[in-house]
């Protein structure tokens, strides 16, 4: 059989036309695809025709063929052909054009925008002037040749109390250039976004400023129409004034971005650490967190921050390093997001930046890299991110003879994964290419048992996948024999249903299998047949995937008072991001979009309210998590139950009642009873108006050592707080005798 095959292959090669010219780019009625091979296979035509392609030209010097594909089917062809083991690449035969490169002369010195994929994003959107970034810093040199074109007035100088926020340090101008220096003006650099920039000067010429000036700058920027506020400044100490200013801006729909700090510390600086601010750390050119970049539980995103060139005073340009440089990269990307999606809320933009960040460090969020490096394309194009089914074929063997004379079979098989909108297949052939002079031919291996040990990775688009395995034996004269590896007597192709969410076969919808250690074994004789002429065979396989079940997290309970906004934050993991978040706040089964993963809500009546968060991933899988919100304006019940009123205690023991007051001799255990429908958060115990202890768990007991106290009148006060913040007090008077 193999001799006949070789004869036919050689004959075909002798009559083939060798085309060695380069492919010419031109328009065609049908779409054309170029397929590049590691080496041109002997069964080239069969391989191309398998996916409905027609070979137009071959270029043997570069091992490539030009293929004609029916219009509209080119992407399907590309997706399938590229999975063949012989194929090195496949691409559309389109027009050649240069990648977008700004004409700014220092573009070649900017590694930051390249690293966060700005050039790709700029093919879609470079930015809209209606979007405004406020630089809250040392001011902005609005006369700079590379900033003037994007600068707008309206800011303020809080240091000198005037309307001229001119930079006298360069730090603010450097940040402004990173975010929004003018592009394609044949000057300097290119900013991340071609949007408007305004300045709030809150730092003096030495780079220092006050809490009040920073807060004033944030509020003024929000009131002046800023969409994004970039804050490359910070302190290790929190400020309620600045935090309130950030909350004010966030509530007005502003996106706030802050630098994590350069203190070699595992705590993010303020204001970046506040919930309303996106905290940004710095990366070097190796995508490693710089040693000085602060990190910790509040870190959200990373961006280039080491050796960054940008605008400084006097129409000049310098390299700076710091999380101050990382911050405006993210601010610029946020402005690009708003330019693309002008209807997005600040929460939606924040979620977009988080969900499409390029993961660094440990998988998912981690305290050193947050959610990863900001990505200006918002496409989350990570090869491993899409759902795939992995089919491991271990080995296969024949049971019945496949050839006349019981010759050893020449095996090959096809695995197919069918799901909602995808149908992907891969072939594997038992053989290898052998070189003959200056070409290659495929030589089959003939053997009863084929030790395959190959993994096939197939894209899927739904949580339930139908897997088909078709095992064949190559014959010189078609059609090839199909081996029976199914337990279904009506077919030979093995078929299984696989659940990606639960990582398991759906037994009642799958062929019956045997187990051999960790391997599934599909066997043609499991249909009850035992005849030797039925082409029965066995195949060992296993299945896995990269899809984790969608998990939604939400605190079990929230507490608050009437008409006060309560912040409720959920999160999602697993599934296929990005996620869509929607909320049912009225317990009516209707879900509202537009709030993102965090919602602020108030209720006007005391009571318990059910809130549900629904998360839908890009796989269209959804999960719902509910929580209970307790609205309570009633104070808790609190009572000091020991010592009792009008009693005598000696060394912690009640002796007998007294007619007019409580007296104690020696130390005594103070016991408090506290209760509330919303639950008790803590009980504070005071002796003579001095706080002695705070109790957070029942029983609310504390031993009062009275040895050093004067023999006199003393006041015991218990203050109980419920989870909604209401409080109540109970006080008793005791007299120490000895």
| pLDDT, tens digit (0-9, with 9 covering 90-100), for 672-694 | 999 998 889 999 999 999 999 99
User: Would you say residue 659 has pLDDT above 80?
Assistant: yes
Q: What percent of the chain has pLDDT over 90?
A: 58
Record the tokens describing residue 396, joined without a space.
């296969």
User: Would you say residue 384 has pLDDT above 70?
Assistant: no
Which listed residue (232, 276, 293, 324) is catalytic? 324
* Euclidean distance between CA atoms 87 and 75, whole angstroms: 16
CATH 2.60.40.10 domain extents, the chain: 551-631, 637-736
> What pLDDT is stored for residue 96 in this prediction?
35
Mean pLDDT for 106-111 is 80
Known catalytic membership, residue 137: yes
In this predicted structure, which of 268-272, 298-302, 497-501 has the lowest mean pLDDT?
Answer: 497-501
| CATH number assigned to the domain with residue range 637-736, chosen from the 4 options 3.30.2350.10, 2.60.120.380, 2.60.120.10, 2.60.40.10 | 2.60.40.10
* Euclidean distance between CA atoms 715 and 736, whole angstroms: 11
Superfamily of domain 387-545: C2 domain (2.60.40.150)
Looking at per-residue confidence, does 200 or 422 come out higher?
Answer: 200
> How does 297-321 read in b/e, with b if 16+ C-beta sit within 10 Å?
ebbbbbbbbbebbbbbbeeebeebb
> What pLDDT is stored for residue 94 in this prediction?
56
Could you give the 3-state DSSP secondary structure of residue 576? Answer: coil
What secondary structure does DSSP assign to 25-38, as a single string? P---SSEEEEEEES
User: Would you say residue 110 has pLDDT above 80?
Assistant: yes
Record the tokens describing residue 407, joined without a space.
């010759």
The per-residue pLDDT of the chain, averaged, comes to 87
Known catalytic membership, residue 293: no
Q: Which residues contact 233 (CB under 8 A, 6 or more apart)?
A: 136, 137, 202, 203, 209, 214, 258, 259, 324
Mean pLDDT for 426-439 is 66
Superfamily of domain 107-355: Peptidase S8/S53 domain (3.40.50.200)
Which listed residue (104, 137, 355, 380) is catalytic? 137
Record the tokens describing residue 557, joined without a space.
């309970």
Record the tokens describing residue 259, joined without a space.
């630098």
Mean pLDDT for 334-352 is 95
CATH 2.60.40.150 domain extents, the chain: 387-545
Tokens 């075909």 found at: 12
Known catalytic membership, residue 527: no
Residue range 551-631 forms a domain whose CATH class is: mainly beta
Radius of gyration of the chain (CA): 36
Q: What share of the chain is helix, strand, coil (3-state, %, to 5)?
A: 15, 40, 45
Superfamily of domain 2-92: Peptidase S8 propeptide/proteinase inhibitor I9 (3.30.70.80)
* Euclidean distance between CA atoms 150 and 707, whole angstroms: 74
CATH 3.40.50.200 domain extents, the chain: 107-355
Give the orientation angle of helix 323-340 with respect to helix 346-355, to 10 degrees. 110
Q: Which residues contact 552 (CB under 8 A, 6 or more apart)?
A: 570, 571, 572, 613, 615, 623, 624, 625
571-588 per-position pLDDT tens digit: 998 888 888 899 999 888
Tokens 């296929």 found at: 576
> What pLDDT is stored for residue 5 in this prediction?
39
Mean pLDDT for 81-97 is 74
Looking at per-residue confidence, does 24 or 497 come out higher?
Answer: 497
Contact 214/228 with Cβ under 8 angstroms?
no
User: Would you say residue 478 has pLDDT above 80?
Assistant: no
Distances (CA, A) of 605 to 557, 562, 700: 17, 6, 30
Which listed residue (144, 171, 394, 456) is catalytic? 171
Looking at per-residue confidence, does 478 or 659 come out higher?
Answer: 659
Please indicate, yes or no, whether the overall pTM of this predicted structure exceeds 0.85: no
> What pLDDT is stored for residue 381 in this prediction?
52
144-172 per-position pLDDT tens digit: 999 999 999 999 999 999 999 999 999 99
Residue 476 pLDDT level (bands cut at 50, 70, 90): low
> What pLDDT is stored for residue 477 in this prediction?
61
């Amino acid at each position: 059989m193999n001799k006949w095959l070789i004869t036919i292959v050689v004959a075909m090669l002798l009559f083939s036309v060798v085309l060695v010219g380069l492919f010419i780019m031109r328009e065609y009625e049908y779409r054309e695809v170029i397929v590049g091979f590691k080496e041109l296979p002997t069964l080239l035509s069969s391989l191309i025709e398998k996916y409905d392609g027609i070979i137009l030209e071959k270029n043997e010097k570069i091992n490539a063929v030009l293929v004609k594909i029916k219009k509209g089917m080119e992407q399907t062809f590309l997706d399938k052909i590229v999975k063949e083991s012989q194929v090195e690449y496949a691409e559309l035969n389109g027009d050649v054009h240069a990648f977008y490169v700004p004409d700014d002369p220092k573009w070649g010195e900017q590694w930051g925008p390249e690293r966060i994929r700005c050039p790709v994003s700029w093919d879609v959107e470079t930015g809209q002037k209606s979007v405004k970034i406020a630089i809250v810093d040392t001011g902005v040199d609005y006369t700079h040749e590379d900033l003037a074109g994007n600068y707008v007035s309206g800011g303020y100088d809080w240091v000198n109390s005037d309307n001229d926020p001119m930079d006298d340090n360069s730090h603010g101008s450097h940040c402004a250039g990173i975010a929004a220096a003018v592009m394609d003006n044949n000057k300097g650099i290119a900013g991340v976004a071609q949007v408007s920039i305004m300045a709030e000067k809150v730092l003096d010429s030495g780079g220092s400023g006050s809490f009040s000036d920073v807060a004033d700058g944030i509020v003024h920027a929000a009131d002046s129409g800023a969409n994004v506020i970039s804050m490359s400044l910070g302190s290790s100490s929190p400020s309620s004034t600045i935090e309130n200013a950030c909350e004010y801006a966030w509530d007005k729909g502003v996106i706030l971005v802050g630098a994590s700090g350069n203190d070699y510390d595992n705590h993010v600086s303020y204001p970046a650490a506040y919930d309303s601010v996106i905290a940004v750390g710095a990366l070097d050119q190796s995508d490693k967190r710089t040693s000085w970049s602060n990190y910790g539980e509040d870190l959200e995103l990373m961006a280039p921050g080491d050796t960054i060139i940008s605008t400084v005073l006097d129409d000049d340009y310098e390299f700076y390093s710091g999380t101050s440089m990382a911050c405006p990269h993210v601010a610029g990307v946020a402005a690009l997001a708003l330019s693309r999606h002008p209807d997005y809320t600040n929460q939606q933009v924040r979620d977009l930046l988080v969900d499409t960040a390029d993961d660094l460090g440990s998988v998912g969020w981690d305290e050193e890299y947050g959610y990863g490096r900001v990505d200006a394309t918002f496409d989350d194009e990570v090869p491993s991110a899409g759902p795939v089914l992995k089919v491991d074929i271990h080995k296969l063997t024949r049971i019945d003879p496949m050839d006349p004379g019981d010759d050893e079979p020449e095996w090959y098989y096809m695995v197919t994964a069918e799901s909602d909108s995808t149908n992907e297949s891969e072939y594997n052939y038992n053989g290898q290419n052998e070189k003959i002079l200056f070409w290659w031919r495929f030589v089959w291996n003939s053997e009863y048992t084929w030790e395959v040990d190959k993994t096939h990775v197939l894209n899927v688009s739904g949580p339930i996948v139908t897997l088909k395995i078709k095992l064949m034996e190559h014959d010189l004269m078609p059609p090839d024999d199909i081996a029976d590896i199914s337990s279904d007597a009506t077919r030979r192709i093995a078929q299984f249903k696989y659940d990606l969410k639960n990582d398991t076969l759906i037994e009642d919808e799958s062929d019956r299998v045997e187990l051999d250690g960790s391997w599934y074994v599909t066997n043609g004789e499991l249909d009850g047949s035992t005849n030797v002429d039925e082409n029965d065979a066995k195949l060992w396989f296993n299945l896995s995937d990269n899809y984790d079940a969608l998990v939604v997290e939400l605190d079990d309970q929230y507490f608050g008072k009437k008409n006060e906004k309560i912040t409720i934050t959920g999160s999602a993991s697993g599934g296929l991001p990005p996620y869509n978040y929607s909320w049912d706040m009225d317990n009516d089964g209707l879900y509202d979009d537009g709030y993102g993963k965090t919602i602020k809500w108030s209720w006007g009546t005391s009571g318990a309210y059910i809130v549900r968060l629904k998360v839908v991933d890009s796989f269209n899988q959804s999960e719902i998590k509910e929580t209970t919100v307790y609205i309570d304006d009633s104070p808790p019940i609190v009572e000091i139950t020991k010592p009792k009123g009008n009693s005598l205690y000696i060394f912690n023991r009640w002796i007998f009642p007294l007619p007019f007051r409580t007296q104690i001799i020696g130390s005594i255990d103070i016991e408090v009873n506290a209760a509330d429908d919303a639950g008790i958060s803590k009980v504070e115990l005071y002796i003579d108006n001095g706080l002695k202890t705070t109790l957070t768990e029942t029983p609310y007991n504390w031993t009062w050592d009275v040895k050093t106290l004067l023999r006199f009148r003393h006041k015991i006060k218990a203050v109980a707080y419920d989870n909604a913040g209401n409080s109540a007090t109970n006080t008793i008077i005791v007299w120490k005798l000895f």
